[in-house]
Amino acid sequence: MNPRAAGATRRAEWALLAGNFAIGCGVMVVAGALNDIVRSLAVSVALGGQLITVASVTMALGAPLLALVVGGIDRRALLTFALAWYALGHALSALAPDFQALLPVRAACMLGAALFTPQAAAVIGGLVPGEQRGRAITFVFLGWSLASVVGMPIASYVGETLGWRTAFGLVAAMSLLSAGGVWRTIPAGVKPPVAGLAAWKQVATQPVLIGVVLVTALSGAGQFTLFSYFAPIFRGELGASAAAVSLLFFWFGAFGLAGNMLVSRHIDRIGAAPLVAALLALMAASFVLWPWATGVVTMALVLVPWALACFSSNSAQQARLGEAAPTLAPVLMALNTSAIYLGQALGAAGGGAIVVANRAAGREPYVGMAGVALAWMLAAIALSLWAARRMRPAAVPA
C-alpha cells in the first residue's frame, strides 16, 4: 500500500472509530443516566432498565436483518445515514414527555447502531491488507472503549447534575459530527460482497462459527446482568456521591480503553482465540470477587479485571470471526453484533427480574446478580474453548 493510500485508510479508520464512539455513548447513556431517568419519569429501576433491554433486542434483531437488505448500497452513504438516524433518534428521545413515549423512540433509534457497527467492521476489513485486518478491526472498536472512558462518565455526571435529557442531546450532537467525518473520509463506491442467502446458509451450517458467535452473547449476558444497574448499585449499595459514581464509570472505562489498546497491538501476534479465553477469564474473576466490593475503593479494585477485558473481548471476537472466514465477514460481523446486543438484552432483563424478585422477597435488590453473571461467563468460557479446539483441526471455509 503506497503512503497516500495508507494515509487515506488511516483517516477512514479514525472516522469509523469516532462513529463507534458515538454509537457506544448512545448505547451506554441509559446505564450512565439511569438514576435521573427513573427519578424524572417516575418509574422503577427495574422498569427503567428495560430501556436497555428493548434497545438491545432491536439491535440484536436489526443487525442481521439489515445486513440482508443493504448489500448493494454504497457504504459511505449507508454509514453516514446510520449515524444521522442515530442523532435524530437521540434528539427525539431527549424531548420525550414520558416513559411510554421514550421506549419506542429508543427502540427505533437503535437501528442506527445495529446498522453502523457491523458494517464499519466489514468496511475497514476490506480496506486493509489481510495481515492487518485484526489490528484494523480492533482499532475501530477502540471507539467503544473511548465511549466508556469519556462518554459513560459524562452521561452519568450530566444525568446526575443537568438531567438525562441533556445527556441524550450530547449523544445526538456527537453522532451528527461523526456522520460528517465518515462522509468526508470513507471512499465512495465501497461495497463489500453482498451477503446473500447462500452466505447465511453457509454460516448456519458451520457449528464452530455459530459457537463463536454465541460466546459473545453469553459473555454479554453475564456482563449486563450487573452493568445495566451500575448507577443504582453504586448509589444504593455503596452510598457513592454523583462525583464518585462518575469516577467509577471513568475508572472502568479507562481500564477498558487500556485493555482494548493492548489487544489491538498484540492480537495479530498472539491470535484471537487465546486472547478471548484469557479475557473471559478476567471477567469471571471480577464476578467471583464482587461480594468483597463493599465500598468505592474496593469496587474500583474489583472492576479492574472486568474492565480490561470488557470491550477488548468484543474486539477480539470480531477479529476472530474475520480471520476464521474472511469471505463471510459481512454475515459474521452482523451476527456477532447481534449477539452483543442479544447478550445485553438477556442480561438487562435478567437483572431486572432479580431486582423485582428480591424486593418481593424483602431482600436487598441486587443480591445474587454476581452469581448469575458468573454462570453466564463460565458458559461462555466453556463454549469458547470448545470452538477453539474444533477450529484448529478443521479448517473453516475462507
Query: For 291-347, how does the pLDDT look when each residue is reduced to its tens digit (9 = 90+)?
Result: 999 999 999 999 999 999 987 888 788 788 877 777 777 678 778 878 888 898 899
- Give yes or no for residue 90 having a pLDDT over 90: yes
- Give yes or no for residue 392 having a pLDDT over 70: no
Higher pLDDT, 269 or 180: 180
Residue with cell 468505592: 296
Give the pLDDT of residue 94.
Answer: 95
Backbone torsion region of residue 362, taken as left when φ is above 0, otherwise alpha when ψ lies between -120 and 50, otherwise beta: left
- Specify the DSSP class assigned to residue 394: S
**Overall average pLDDT of the 153-171 stretch:** 87
**Overall average pLDDT of the 145-169 stretch:** 82
Domain 3-391 belongs to what topology?
A: Growth Hormone; Chain: A; (1.20.1250)
Residue with cell 420525550: 96
Q: What DSSP string describes 180-228?
A: HHHHHHSPTT--PPP--HHHHHHHHT-HHHHHHHHHHHHHHHHHHHHHT
- Share above pLDDT 90 across residues of the chain, in percent, rounded to a whole number: 42
6 falls in which pLDDT band (50, 70, 90)? low
Give the pLDDT of residue 130.
Answer: 61
Alpha carbon distance 398, 388 (integer Å):
17
- Specify the DSSP class assigned to residue 148: I
376 falls in which pLDDT band (50, 70, 90)? very high
Q: Reduce the DSSP state of residue 271 to 3 states and report it.
A: coil
Mean pLDDT (the chain) is 86
- Give yes or no for residue 395 having a pLDDT over 60: no
The listed range with the strongest mean pLDDT (59-68, 95-104, 134-143, 318-327) is 95-104
Where does the chain have alpha helices with state H?
3-41, 45-69, 75-94, 99-109, 111-127, 133-140, 142-146, 152-161, 164-185, 197-204, 207-227, 230-236, 242-270, 272-289, 296-324, 329-360, 369-391
- End-to-end, the C-alpha distance of the chain in Å comes to 23
- Give yes or no for residue 352 having a pLDDT over 70: yes
Give the pLDDT of residue 180.
Answer: 94
372 falls in which pLDDT band (50, 70, 90)? very high
- Give yes or no for residue 25 having a pLDDT over 60: yes
Give the pLDDT of residue 189.
Answer: 76
pTM, two decimal places: 0.75
Residue with cell 448507577: 231
- Give yes or no for residue 284 having a pLDDT over 90: yes
**Overall average pLDDT of the 207-221 stretch:** 93
1 falls in which pLDDT band (50, 70, 90)? low
Higher pLDDT, 212 or 395: 212
- Give yes or no for residue 397 having a pLDDT over 60: no
The dihedral through the CA atoms of 221, 332, 178, 165 has a sign that is: negative
Give 6's contacts (C-beta < 8 A, 6+ positions apart): none
Q: Tens of pLDDT along 102-139? A: 999 999 999 999 889 878 877 876 676 666 666 777 78
**Overall average pLDDT of the 262-278 stretch:** 83
Give the pLDDT of residue 107.
Answer: 93
Asked if 335 and 213 touch (Cβ cutoff 8 Å), the reply is: yes
Asked if 332 and 214 touch (Cβ cutoff 8 Å), the reply is: no
